[in-house]
């Protein structure tokens, strides 16, 4: 029997290179499980519509479950005519249950079928990535708890700016990742619209009730209201690839910080051996490859987003074979991000912070803003205070002295009412403790945020 699902009107088989170009089984076999779930639901709908008997439905369901297990156990044997996962499953089902298999595709097209399967897969993928993100968030929260009081320089323009705590730095990434999780949930909500029953493009004329399908397929909460859109829509792929790409961008920023911080020049952290590699030539080297790969692979995630956007751009309604190109970028981004998030979580969990190196990188100039704030507390308008402290910073540079060693006469030259109490300002721990506005770096605030995250992530 010819298992091509469309062979009837063809006098000749496809050319060999066309077959290889057209076949998608080698990658869409990953949809086996969700495709079978969709088919089981479809068989039920066919029975409800009186299009197959209860016995046929039972045979199909049992046969499909056998095929599901063959895939799960790695026992499924592909045959040369298995054009795509849908063809392969139907071919195998026919081998297992015979005639009823020929009725399964009643009223259905691979167009609504593949759209349904990929949505189901994508919903599961988004859930999986969300859990991985949570794993990384937890690792960051744990470091934040450990280092709520650990002082380090905060940067703007990669120039030392003001003292912060390492815990506060960790929690900045937790916030980013939380938005990533929300974006996944948000995109998933729109993926829960069921295309099945839309037929090839125009709807089904055999009386299959689509609403009931959402009961059997409980990941879906609505049926697509327009059959053309149902088979042509891949927005959910684009949206999730965007969410994956932005998460990748966040990982690349985390990675870049840690590449810098783990260098000898900074020395703020040491990555575990398990997440570093060496050099084949230079025996002393320990390279932060885990972080470099996170940074580099964000490029793939962006590339895959551009791929799907480009595939969809300008496509006429409805289904076009171009859309078969939706799967490989999706699978690639999923796998890349899934593993990347695991590596990131473990590398963060095992990194050792070096508080003494962080403290050594702080200098008095980073407290210049605190000095200006002190002048403000004494009634000086901030703009003037900024100028006065700027002059003090310049004097200190001219005299090659840190601010705290500048003679009191220099302070009094810019602000006569300053006394020796001004030197007490040059304490980064005090500076940080004073940043106790909501969202500030004060250790107390960091600890509150750690508690909040512990609750949210529990
Ligand atoms: N393998 C195809 C895909 O992934 C399935 C849909 C085929 N539909 C069709 N009309 N040829 O898009």
Q: Which of 106, 135, 156 is the last residue of a domain?
A: 106
* 292-318 pLDDT tens trace: 999 999 999 999 999 999 999 999 999
Whether 1 has a pLDDT exceeding 60, the answer reads no
Q: 22 CA distance to ligand 1 centroid (A)?
A: 9
- Domain assignment present for 155: yes
313 with 346, same domain: the answer is yes
State the CATH number of the domain containing residue 377: 1.10.40.30
For residue 319, give the nearest of 169, 448, 200, 156 by alpha carbon. 200
- Domain assignment present for 298: yes
Write down the pLDDT at residue 199: 96
What three-state secondary structure class fits 254? helix
Write down the pLDDT at residue 426: 95
Rounded to whole angstroms, what are the CA distances from 427 to 148, 170, 386, 404, 419?
A: 17, 22, 19, 10, 16
197 with 324, same domain: the answer is yes
| Average pLDDT for 99-126 | 97
* 310-367 pLDDT tens trace: 999 999 999 999 999 999 999 999 999 999 999 999 999 999 999 999 999 999 999 9
- Domain assignment present for 3: no
Which residues form ligand 1's pocket by a CB distance below 6 Å? 24, 28, 84, 110-111, 114, 319, 321, 323-324
Q: 241 CA distance to ligand 1 centroid (A)?
A: 20
119 with 263, same domain: the answer is yes
368 with 341, same domain: the answer is no
Q: Which of 75, 106, 137 is the last residue of a domain?
A: 106
Write down the pLDDT at residue 6: 85
Q: Are 46 and 209 in contact (CB under 8 A)?
A: no
Provide the terminal-to-terminal Cα distance of the chain, rounded to the nearest Å.
Answer: 55
pLDDT band at 2 (very low <50, low <70, confident <90, very high): low
Q: Give, for ligand 1, the residue of 27, 110, 196 to mutate: max count of ligand atoms closer than 8 Å to Cβ.
A: 110
State the CATH number of the domain containing residue 98: 1.10.275.10
Note if 279 is an active site residue. Answer: yes
Largest CA distance in the chain: 100
Write down the pLDDT at residue 4: 75
Rounded to whole angstroms, what are the CA distances from 95 to 83, 86, 167, 253?
A: 16, 14, 60, 52
Ligand 1: nearest atom to the Cα of 327: 4
Q: 310 CA distance to ligand 1 centroid (A)?
A: 18
Ligand 1: nearest atom to the Cα of 24: 1
| Average pLDDT for 281-290 | 92
pLDDT band at 5 (very low <50, low <70, confident <90, very high): confident
Give bridge partners of residue 163 from the DSSP assignment.
153
pTM, whole model, 2 decimals?
0.96
- Domain assignment present for 143: yes
Whether 8 has a pLDDT exceeding 90, the answer reads no
Whether 138 has a pLDDT exceeding 80, the answer reads yes
State the CATH number of the domain containing residue 305: 1.20.200.10
Q: What is the DSSP letter of 164?
A: E
Q: Give, for ligand 1, the residue of 321, 326, 327 to mutate: max count of ligand atoms closer than 8 Å to Cβ.
A: 321
Note if 157 is an active site residue. Answer: yes
Percent above pLDDT 70 for the chain: 99
pLDDT band at 257 (very low <50, low <70, confident <90, very high): very high
pLDDT band at 177 (very low <50, low <70, confident <90, very high): very high
The count of other CB atoms within 10 Å of the CB of residue 249 is 16
What three-state secondary structure class fits 216? helix
What's the rounded Cα separation, in Å, for the pair 326 and 114?
11
52 with 201, same domain: the answer is no
The residue segments making up the domain with residue 269 are: 111-360
185 with 84, same domain: the answer is no
Number of separate domains in the chain: 3
Write down the pLDDT at residue 73: 98
Q: Give, for ligand 1, the residue of 111, 120, 328 to mutate: max count of ligand atoms closer than 8 Å to Cβ.
A: 111
330 with 199, same domain: the answer is yes
225 with 371, same domain: the answer is no
* 403-443 pLDDT tens trace: 999 999 999 999 999 999 999 999 999 999 999 999 999 99
| Average pLDDT for 138-166 | 98
129 with 23, same domain: the answer is no
Write down the pLDDT at residue 174: 98
Determine which residue's CA is closest to atom 3 belonging to ligand 1. 324
What's the rounded Cα separation, in Å, for the pair 120 and 117?
5
Whether 24 has a pLDDT exceeding 70, the answer reads yes
- Domain assignment present for 8: no
Show contacts of 411-416: CB within 8 Å, 24+ apart. 414/388, 414/389, 415/375, 415/378, 415/380, 415/388
pLDDT band at 270 (very low <50, low <70, confident <90, very high): very high
- Domain assignment present for 9: no
What three-state secondary structure class fits 258? helix
134 with 243, same domain: the answer is yes
Q: 114 CA distance to ligand 1 centroid (A)?
A: 7
- Domain assignment present for 346: yes
Q: 324 CA distance to ligand 1 centroid (A)?
A: 6
> How does the average pLDDT of the chain come out, rounded?
96
Q: Which of 314, 331, 360 is the last residue of a domain?
A: 360
Whether 374 has a pLDDT exceeding 90, the answer reads yes
378 with 323, same domain: the answer is no
Which is the catalytic residue, given 157, 205, 400, 420?
Answer: 157
* 434-445 pLDDT tens trace: 999 999 999 999
183 with 287, same domain: the answer is yes
Strands 222-223 and 193-194: parallel
What's the rounded Cα separation, in Å, for the pair 37 and 31?
10
Write down the pLDDT at residue 25: 98
| Average pLDDT for 44-69 | 98
- Domain assignment present for 11: no
């Amino acid at each position: 029997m010819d298992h091509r699902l469309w062979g009837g009107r063809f006098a000749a088989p496809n050319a060999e290179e066309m077959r290889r170009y057209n076949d998608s089984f080698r990658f869409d076999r990953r949809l086996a499980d969700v495709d079978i779930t969709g088919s089981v639901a479809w068989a039920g709908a066919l029975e409800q519509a009186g299009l197959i008997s209860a016995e046929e439905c039972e045979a199909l369901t049992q046969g499909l479950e056998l095929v599901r297990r063959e895939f799960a156990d790695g026992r499924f044997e592909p045959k040369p005519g298995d054009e795509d996962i849908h063809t392969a499953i139907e071919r195998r089902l026919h081998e297992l249950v015979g005639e009823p298999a020929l009725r399964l595709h009643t009223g259905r097209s691979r167009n609504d079928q593949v759209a349904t399967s990929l949505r189901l897969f994508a919903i599961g993928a988004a859930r999986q990535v969300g859990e991985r993100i949570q794993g990384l968030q937890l690792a960051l929260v744990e470091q934040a708890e450990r280092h709520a009081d650990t002082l380090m320089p905060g940067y703007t323009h990669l120039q030392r700016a003001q003292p912060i705590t390492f815990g506060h730095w960790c929690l900045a990434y937790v916030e980013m990742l939380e938005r990533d999780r929300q974006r996944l949930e948000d995109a998933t909500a729109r993926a829960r619209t069921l295309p099945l029953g839309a037929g090839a493009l125009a709807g089904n004329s055999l009386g299959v009730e689509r609403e009931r399908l959402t009961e059997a397929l409980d990941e879906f909460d609505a049926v697509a209201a327009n059959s053309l859109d149902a088979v042509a829509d891949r927005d959910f792929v684009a949206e999730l690839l965007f969410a994956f790409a932005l998460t990748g961008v966040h990982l690349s920023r985390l990675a870049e910080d840690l590449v810098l911080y783990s260098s000898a020049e900074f020395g703020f952290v040491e990555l575990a051996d398990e997440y570093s590699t060496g050099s084949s030539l230079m025996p002393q080297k320990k390279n932060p490859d885990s972080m470099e790969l996170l940074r580099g692979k964000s490029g793939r995630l962006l590339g895959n987003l551009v791929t799907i956007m480009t595939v969809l751009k300008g496509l006429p309604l409805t289904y076009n074979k171009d859309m078969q190109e939706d799967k490989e970028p999706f699978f690639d981004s999923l796998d890349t991000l899934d593993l990347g998030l695991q590596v990131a979580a473990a590398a963060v969990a095992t990194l050792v912070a070096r508080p003494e190196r962080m403290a050594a990188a702080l200098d008095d100039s980073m407290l210049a803003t605190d000095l200006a704030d002190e002048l403000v507390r004494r009634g000086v308008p901030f703009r003037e205070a900024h100028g006065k402290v700027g002059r003090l910073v310049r004097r200190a540079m001219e005299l090659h002295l840190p601010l705290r060693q500048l003679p009191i006469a220099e302070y009094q030259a810019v602000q006569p009412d300053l006394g020796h109490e001004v030197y007490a300002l040059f304490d980064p721990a005090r500076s940080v403790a004073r940043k106790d506005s909501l969202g500030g770096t004060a250790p107390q605030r960091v600890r509150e945020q750690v508690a909040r995250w512990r609750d949210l992530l529990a």
